[in-house]
Structure 1
Amino acid sequence: MINLLYWTRRRLVPFLAISIIIPFISGCSSLSAPIVVASGAGIGYVLLQSHSRTGKEYWNDQQLDRAITRAINKDKTLTTKYGDTKHINVTVFNGIVLLTGEAPVETQIARIIDLANSFSASRQVINRIELAGKSNLNSRVNDALLTTQVRASLLDSEYLNGHKIKVVTERANVYLLGTVTRKESEIAADLASSVSGVVRVVKVFQYL
């Protein structure tokens, strides 16, 4: 189950739920001894599982990311008809493809989605492309800064392993990808939403 949920300053608003079947892959997850952690306020949880991705999984995601990006950049329909009017980012995690960025025409976005879906390795394509003109340099610099700050917050937390969460930021909207427990997803979203300048947080997690 992948849940996309908007978080706005600790307020949770259901946005979209997408169900997919995730085949069990031997060695992808392991059970560890329960670890009880608690904050000074007395809030804690029990970490029952840890998940480490294999080198093959990383490689497959990188190859799919590059293939989709290359297809979008070289597509004659997009380049000839629309020119350099789009700004698209492709992010892949365990075959789940997240499309973010901006494009000014709906048919342009539809074509990009079709291209992403054309690869057999794409298990699910999630479209978060804004119907708008390309973001400016200041906006992208701000997004890069927010990504760095959110990552630092996740890595600094004693309640989850921030290394297994991927962070993508577009127009101050933060997307979180990874394989986590539901409790970890709540903590990660709460940490990301607490970073100054973040407009909203969207969870694109796969759950243990």
Structure 2
Amino acid sequence: MMITNSRLRKFIGITGALLLLNNLTGCAVVAMGAVSATAVSVSNDRRTAGTQLDDFNAQNTASRLIGEQQNLKENANIEVTVYNKVALLTGQAPGQAEINQAEAQIKTIGYIQKIHNQIRIGQPLATSSELYDRWLATKIRTKILASEKVPTAQISIIVEDSEVFLMGLVTNQEATAAVDIARHVDGVTRVVRAFEIY
């Protein structure tokens, strides 16, 4: 059977449309999966969806403000975590003046209601120390996941130079259990509570 140019164009058009539809369907499935995962995360969090978004935006703003300070950018290593309008500052700075400067930047963000300034005086950590901190955080999270006393979705675990900082919206009993778990992980030198009691 002879295929004319018009039939060939029509065949290619239909095939292309089917391939495109197939790709779009695949994307839609992936997108729906991502939305579902996000919905589960949001629904398990004691913060409202709006507060979670505001925390995220405030954290980005805080990081940007600190990054815009040239001396902090060059001489310090400061991380900001925001949870339920509370900011936690961790990391290292050359002196108290830089620590105060970082906190002053965070105070300009009207959304943030409380600041836990846990910046230490010292040189920024080596890459090997940062990797060790990540490993410690993973160990702690794994142990908390295995515990029925602590709701993992409510807790942020920050590890800096083997010090553990715990944030979240928890009950007194949950806070005590989380601290106890973290304290008994090999390698942890100190546990700092930055919880809000639910």
Is it true that 1:84 corresponds to 2:74 in the alignment? yes
Aligned sequence identity (%):
29
Partner of 2:148: 158
Cα deviation digits, residues 66-92 of structure 1 (max 9, x gap): 0010011012xxx1x566111010000
Cα pair distance change 1:115/1:183, threshold 3 Å: same
- The 1:102–1:68 alpha-carbon spacing in structure 2 relative to 1, beyond 3 Å, is same
What are the within-5 Å matches in structure 2 for residues 189-204 of structure 1?
A: 189-204=179-194
Are the equivalent residues in 2 in contact too, given 1:154–1:191 (CA < 8 A)?
Answer: yes
Q: Paired residues, what number?
A: 155
Aligned partners of 2:103 and 2:117 also within 8 Å: yes
Change (3 A) 1:191 1:56: same
2:131 is aligned, of 107, 124, 141, to 141
Residue 94 of structure 1 deviates from its aligned partner by: 0.5
Residue 60 of structure 2 aligns with an amino acid whose one-letter code is R
TM-score, normalised relative to structure 2: 0.75
User: Is the alpha carbon distance of 1:154 and 1:83 closer, same or farther for their aligned partners in structure 2, counting shifts above 3 Å?
Assistant: closer
Q: 1:56 aligns with which of 50, 61, 68?
A: 50
Equivalent position amino acid for 2:116 in 1 = I
Query: Which structure 1 residue ranges, 4+ long, deviate > 6 Å from structure 2?
Result: none
Letter in 2 for 1:58: Q
2:108 counterpart residue number: 118
Partner SS, residue 74 of structure 2 = coil
Q: State the Cα distance separating 1:153 from its structure 2 match.
A: 0.9
Superposition CA RMSD, Å:
1.4
Alpha-carbon displacement from aligned partner over 1:136-165 (angstroms, at most 9, x marks no partner): 111100100011111111111012211211
State whether structure 2 residue 99 is matched by structure 1 residue 105: no
Which stretch has the larger CA shift, 94-103 or 104-113? Answer: 104-113
Is the radius of gyration larger for structure 1 or structure 2? 2
In the alignment, which residue of structure 2 is the partner of 1:182? 172
Unaligned runs of 5+ in 1: 1-49
Q: Is the 8 A contact 1:51 1:180 kept in 2?
A: no
Give the TM-score normalised by structure 1.
0.71
* Letter matched to residue 172 of structure 2: R
* Residue identity matched to 1:179: L
